[in-house]
Structure 1
Amino acid sequence: MKGLSISKIRPPRRWGIGTVLLMLCALVGTALSAIATPDFSGTVDVVPLNTQLGAQIYLQRCGSCHLAVPPETLPTQAWQVLIQETNHYGAALEPISRPELGPLWNYLRTYSRPLPEDSQIPFRVGRSPFFRILHPRVQVPQPVTLNGCAQCHPKATLFNFRELSPQWLDSP
């Protein structure tokens, strides 16, 4: 190679490709963080990151057909049966896929409480002792219906059970 000096050969501009990739990753990350991340600030308990995927699956699977009640309202044993049943109170459901089942069960198990072994498992919120514990001074209309929750919890459809209707704000 006549007339070509080694000092005139430039190394490839790898930093340019790296910079473009870094900017692309930042853009995608920003877009993904803006996509429908539920606000769990109104839930009964704080939902940390390690259970938020299960909470999202719960809201998508259960909250798309009816009001999704906090896991605290039913015992652990009831949730364990409910998420595996395909006959859900007379409605035929598709089974929950294995990849969804793990995080969903982790979320429900974390926020529910087990009943003593000799107890009958309630599969209705109004029959659950934990529902009664969460509502100690409330005269709950009978029968308890999921739609009735919104009378006292106006943002229940947004999975916010901390915000109460004005009549309950100053109640004892």
Structure 2
Amino acid sequence: MFYFQKFFNRLESVFLFGAIVCFTIVLGCGLAIAVNPLPSGYRPVDPASPRYQEAQALYVETCSACHIALPPEVLPTETWRRLIEKPDAHYGVSLNQLISVSQLLIWNYLNAYSRPLNIDEPRPTYVAQSRYFKALHPRVELPKPISHQSCILCHPGAKQYDFQTLTPQWDDAP
């Protein structure tokens, strides 16, 4: 009898410990979802999952220090990889000031939300060469030359990483 009592006490302890762990995980996930590290007003095209929110915030903060932070969707994964992995490949500007951990976090975010190239498709260097960018803007007459600064013409909140809000001329666009 004593053996069974000891077994059930141990089983109760394991169950209680499991319940506490589950509660802690659920609470942690809830807090992660409730806390958004991006400043107010940021409305990315595809909001990052809780796993990538800090990396997205780091990407926006780091990249928008020099230019508009483009959504990962507009360039293929291979272009982002080259820009992140080769500090001197960033359009003539050195990214050596990026710390390896920051670089890895930003890469993980870009890798998760960009798209791969098709087989034998050339890797675009600029946004204007990207089929993804063109696919996202099917009926838009784009200015010449296209640059990341051109985004502001139709996306007034682009500097705040808001590519959902459009200028009034696009209100009735299909």
Class of the TM-score when normalised by the shorter of the 2 chains: 0.7 to 0.9
Residues 115-164 of structure 1, C-alpha deviation per residue, up to 9 Å, x if partnerless? 01311100100110000010011111121111110110000000000000
Confirm or deny: 8 A CA contact 1:83 1:96 kept in the other structure: no
Shift of 1:95: 5.0
Shift of 1:35: 10
In structure 1, the partner of 2:112 is 110
Residues 65-97 of structure 1, C-alpha deviation per residue, up to 9 Å, x if partnerless? 001110000000000010122222112221532
In structure 2, the partner of 1:83 is 84
Shift of 1:60: 2.1
Structure 2 unpaired stretches of 5+: 1-33
Give the Cα separation in 2 of the matches to 1:46 and 1:36.
12
In structure 2, the partner of 1:165 is 167
| TM-score, length basis structure 1 | 0.74
Residues 22-66 of structure 1, C-alpha deviation per residue, up to 9 Å, x if partnerless? xxxxxxxxxxx9997434752111212110111112112211100
Q: More helix by proportion, 1 or 2?
A: 2
Confirm or deny: 8 A CA contact 1:40 1:46 kept in the other structure: no
Query: Given the superposition, is the C-alpha separation of residues 151 and 86 from structure 1 closer, same or farther in structure 2, using an over 3 Å criterion?
Result: same
In structure 2, the partner of 1:152 is 154
Structure 1 unpaired stretches of 5+: 1-32
SS in structure 2 of the partner of residue 92 of structure 1: coil
In structure 1, the partner of 2:75 is 74
In structure 2, the partner of 1:133 is 135
In structure 2, the partner of 1:7 is none
Say whether 1:48 aligns with 2:49: yes
In structure 2, the partner of 1:122 is 124
Which contiguous aligned blocks of 4+ residues in structure 1 show a shift greater than 6 angstroms?
33-36
In structure 2, the partner of 1:13 is none
Report the residue type matching 2:122 in the other structure: Q
Give the Cα separation in 2 of the matches to 1:37 and 1:140.
29
Report the residue type matching 1:139 in the other structure: E
Give the Cα separation in 2 of the matches to 1:92 and 1:101.
13
Confirm or deny: 8 A CA contact 2:87 2:94 kept in the other structure: yes
In structure 1, the partner of 2:94 is 92
Confirm or deny: 8 A CA contact 2:41 2:160 kept in the other structure: no
Confirm or deny: 8 A CA contact 2:55 2:105 kept in the other structure: yes
Give the Cα separation in 2 of the matches to 1:34 and 1:131.
30
CA RMSD of aligned residues (A): 2.1
Report the residue type matching 2:71 in the other structure: P
